[in-house]
Amino acid sequence: MKTVSENACFGGTQGVYSHASTACNCDMTFGLFLPPEAADGPVPVLWYLSGLTCTHENAMTKAGAQAWAAEHGIALVFPDTSPRGDDVADDDAYDLGKGAGFYVNATQEPWSAHYQMWDYIAEELPNLLAEHFPIDAERQAITGHSMGGHGALTLAMSLPGRFRSVSAFAPISNPTGSDWGRKQLTAYLGEDETKWAAHDASLLMRDKGFDGPILVDTGTTDQFIDLLRPEALAAAIAEKRQQATLRLQPGYDHSYFFVSSFMEDHVAFHAAALWA
């Protein structure tokens, strides 16, 4: 593992690190914020999964999360959204290929050689963090924006006991029922739609639910709201009688202005679960 940069940040350290990924078969980069308390021992951790076209850097620099994480004494992890490198398959469209890994393990060519983002987020990166940093693996929570909200919800429901809480900003809630999902799931996983259900938050909610609190915010003027399908997730939550808070925020869109406006709420929400 290589240290790309480390900067003092709200009394702690905002670092960027790279490493050779076995899962993705390429070099990967991630950001990690450690609060001041990390100097004395392991701290709880909140994972932040970013959306389409993003890297590890977008939320790290735009979300304003470090100030609130420092206040609550929790670490933040900012993984990348896809494998990277000259040998990694890509597409001319912004919503497939690099920057658009959708947090799945691709089974179809040419994507399967590198696009193993589920294994990277669920197994490889957590193990790396536990080995090199003062992270309390028993106290984890997860959030994300858009495609990352989709990833946060599907990982949380598919890995019972891993995360104490889950939240999302404008998540892609029902990708099997949307053009933001059917295209990518076909490309990465193939035509068999039965293999898509494990990566659809609304379907997973009906099947599994989540053993913990959920918070979801979506802007009422989000320009992609028809693709996000928050109503499908709301219906599944009601059907499952799942503990959850779903909020439609008047006037907010899909941007990081929206994310940063409600980041304090989300970090505090997770801190309550992490320190319980």
Q: Which of 199, 254, 266, 270 is catalytic?
A: 254
* Active-site annotation holder among 21, 50, 146, 167: 146
Locus of tokens 């599994």: 208
> Does residue 222 have an active-site annotation?
yes
Catalytic: 192? no
In this structure, the dihedral spanned by the alpha carbons of residues 255, 257, 258 and 263, taken in order and rounded to 10 degrees, is 120
Q: In what order do the strands lie in the sheet with 12-21?
A: 2-9, 12-21, 26-34, 75-79, 43-49, 135-144, 166-169, 214-219, 245-249
119 part of the active site:
no
Catalytic site residue from 202, 222, 266, 270: 222
Active site residues: 146, 222, 254
